[in-house]
Structure 1
């Protein structure tokens, strides 16, 4: 067996996530409790209380979602590692990439949590009060989506922008940017035959050049961090593959926040490398669905609950 571990991104959060793990596993409980302290210098939040009790509106705010999701991911990863389950390849969707860096041993727990709290804060600040929108486009290929975004940007003389933010799987691409530009691109896409365009519940124009201020602030933070050699092979969002010798992790993370996420390419890269089993970690099963639409003959386990975790352990054993 060659194993891939993939981490969910923002939008998968739910009230109650991780509560069953917290009540049953000491390692998970310690991770969640420590996370509150780790992020306290950046974002005041009780990770356990917000994750388990909400309200959903606050849990869905970028500055709170990101630490809560990553704390959940680290806690489950610790439990897998304790059972001797480690990835050959790992990646994550947007903020999930930071959990992948933890799984690979590139960054430690406290560093990851502090960085992700700052990332959430910087992204929220970059969004400001600007009217924004993200939409999932179903049933349109990459070239059509990119062309629609280019036409919308030209319509607004590039004063308002829309970009392809996430290439999730064949037939599902997320566009992001200024609300009016996203609406304009959506009009073009409907005319071009897109099957559906679904607004997403998000609070910023993620993975567009509007996030450059966040990328700049993150770059300054990365200069203070020691990035270690990894134990697992990490596939990076903004390139959809492993990094080469002359590519540096801090630069890839800086680029990631303001450019497209190539999840579809990342999953294909894993499969081409011989990965035949993938564990998705995070609330919901969105990535599992993306995987099933992207590659064949890959067994997928989605770990959202203790029951999911224990069933996966039993089968993997």
Structure 2
């Protein structure tokens, strides 16, 4: 079975999508349509902007989403998913590719999500940190012992977890994690505490927007960050998507469940190869690769 996976924030790079734009009339049409929907030229920043320009959440999220969705649509007959999943933001790309959301609805929700997250980041100083070389349970226990808000946010692969929360609490957790033998516990250059309780204001705002959108029937199961299991019911997909902002990204568990359900190949659709590397670390017996234009 073929699993298609969609990357999230952090996969962006300067010049992303330019080859698609120049190499496919169908891609160019979608990129131009996205600029109209958003009311500004996202493609200018994607194609010509610096890495610093692309790091802004309100730019990064629609840019990664757009690159992924356009690629899935111009792959033509090559895009034949038996199951899909997306890492955080990538879940929106997966839902558009999977026919749950239209291109326009998906892009509008992603942009609203990005703005809401950026605003939530400005309420209280917060951050995230990557932790390498410890069992998940150890990281969870240490976070629970620290005063303040700090939680496990991204279960990326065995031995690689991201924590998220208030700056002081994350820094204290990093020190405690190093003392317990973490190979690395380092702050990440992000604008705030994604996938933590500090994203509650953004979750409420996004929930209002999501509730107004009618979700369609997917063409194949989606393995969502919140539940990790195959989901096909549009209302359940909607519910999981609402809680995604404050809940952890259970990527390791999602990939393991996809493999248990028969996935033999994983194709990453979008910028970069981050997810391919994570899948290899989760299970080396499966094949991984990147999506390509027809």
TM category (shorter chain) comes to over 0.9
* Cα distance per residue 1:43-63 (max 9 Å; x no partner): xx3111010111322211111
2:13 corresponds in structure 1 to 14
* Cα distance per residue 1:23-50 (max 9 Å; x no partner): 111111111111111223xxxx311101
Of the three residues 44, 60, 85, the one matched with 1:49 is 44
| Aligned positions of 1:19-34 closer than 5 A | 19-34=18-33
| Aligned positions of 1:251-266 closer than 5 A | 251-266=239-254
Of the three residues 273, 285, 289, the one matched with 1:297 is 285
Matched, 1:203 2:195: no
1:102 corresponds in structure 2 to 96
Structure 1's unaligned 5+ residue stretches are 304-308
Structure 2's unaligned 5+ residue stretches are none
Contact 1:235 1:266 in 2 (8 A): yes
Question: After TM superposition, where is structure 1 displaced by more than 3 Å over at least 4 residues in a row?
Answer: 243-247
Contact 1:11 1:202 in 2 (8 A): no
Report deviation, 1:84. 4.2
Q: Find the residue that maps to 2:272 and give its secondary structure.
A: coil
Matched, 1:166 2:165: no
Let me know the Cα RMSD of the aligned residues.
Answer: 1.6
| Aligned positions of 1:77-88 closer than 5 A | 77-80=72-75, 82-88=76-82
Contact 1:134 1:200 in 2 (8 A): yes
User: Under a length normalisation based on structure 2, what TM-score does the superposition of the two structures give?
Assistant: 0.96
* Cα distance per residue 1:196-251 (max 9 Å; x no partner): 12332211210001001111111111221010111011001012112386962222
Cα distance between partner residues in 2 of 1:245 and 1:54? 39
Contact 1:134 1:205 in 2 (8 A): yes
Q: 1:247 to 1:222 in 2, by over 3 A?
A: closer
User: Under a length normalisation based on structure 1, what TM-score does the superposition of the two structures give?
Assistant: 0.89
